[in-house]
Amino acid sequence: MKDLAGRIAVITGGGTGMGRELARQLVAEGCHVAMCDVSAAAMEETRRLCVADGLPQGLRVTSFVADVSDEAQVKAFAAAVARDHDTDRIHLLFNNAGIGGGGSMIVHERAEWERTFNICWGGVYYNTRAFLPMMLKADAGHIVNTSSINGLWASVGPMMPHTAYSAAKFAVKGFSEALQTDLRINAPHIRCSVVMPGHIGTSIVANSRKIQANTESPEFTAKELAQMRARVASMGVDVSKLSDADIGRLAHERARKFLEEAPMTAAEAAKVILDGVKADRWRILVGKDAEQIDRLVRADPERAYDIDFFQDLAKQVGWKLGGN
């Protein structure tokens, strides 16, 4: 599917980050876009940017508020796409929505753990189920599932558990790989790619906190502060002299750095993804850090979760010790 003009693309998590940039770049190529997100305001900003970029006449950019971890809402989204685009088929499905949180099976509450897992994995599964009938009716289709480097290496550092997100991203990767055979046998006109980004400059840290805490307030709750204090302490920092305000500032700074100091922007990542789709690549690594991590983990999997492995890896990919 090298020419995207006139096609219809569905994007989950289209309100920010890579989802927003995918929408903008697809529209620029003449592709109709239907997006969902939990934030109507964020999607409206995506649409505003598409219009500001120069929305081609007759091109449709639609939005629908939906939580991708809720199958009923996903089905409603699919029905809205059919209605708003006056169609019974789509060509591209970008399963992009995701959040972080619930890093530990032991420390974090089950609800937070499952919230992360159900969005990052359940959203991929539910949307693929919901939109597959519409892709089967198209002349060609492409499913693009966003996994992560954490779908091939379940770590962000030796002192920071990452179980919910990593388990979900491994599920996305395995599902996407299994679809290669399933689609070839049962729907050969549909392709599937798995996207594995490294550190991309997005608002996932800040957005994850809003969704997990169910708030738009920048002020942290006592529960959040206690969890963040424990996380900072687990990284070897003496937190006894840090006030709650200090802990809050550290959290906001972490979110800012993740967005603003990443080695690759969301727009750059979106271009790599679309180039990979056009080249019919089923495995799309995004970022030099992702490429290096892939090589290092494959070369020495037995050491992949040792502390010295992470220290060597961090130096090679340019990460600061303690995180991205």
pLDDT, tens digit, for every residue of 228-242? 787 777 667 888 888
Residue 323 lies in a domain: no
Same domain, yes or no: 243 and 273: no
| Residue ranges making up the domain that contains 91 | 8-201+265-317
Confidence of residue 171 (pLDDT cuts 50, 70, 90): very high
> Which residue of the set 125, 126, 165, 305 is catalytic?
165
% residues pLDDT > 70 (the chain) = 98
Contacts of 57 (CB under 8 A, 6+ apart): none
The answer to whether 126 is a known catalytic residue is no
Q: Could you tell me if residue 34 is inside a domain? A: yes
Q: Is residue 121 part of a domain?
A: yes
Q: What is the value of pTM for the model shown? A: 0.91
Dihedral angle at the C-alpha atoms of 281, 9, 268, 205, nearest 10 degrees? Answer: -110
How many structural domains are present in the chain? 2
pLDDT digits (tens, 9 = 90+) for 176-214: 999 999 999 999 999 999 999 998 988 777 777 777 777
Name residues whose C-beta falls within 8 Å of residue 224's C-beta, 6 or more positions apart in sequence: 209, 213
Q: Which amino acid type is present at position 46?
A: T
Percentage of the chain lying above the pLDDT 90 cut: 69
Tokens read off for 240: 């006894």
Among the candidates 213, 230, 261, a domain finishes at 261
Average pLDDT over residues 97-108: 90
Helix (H) or strand (E) holding 63: strand 61-65
- Do 269 and 224 have their domain in common? no
Read off the tokens for 212: 């997990």
Phi and psi of 304, rounded to 5°? -60, -25
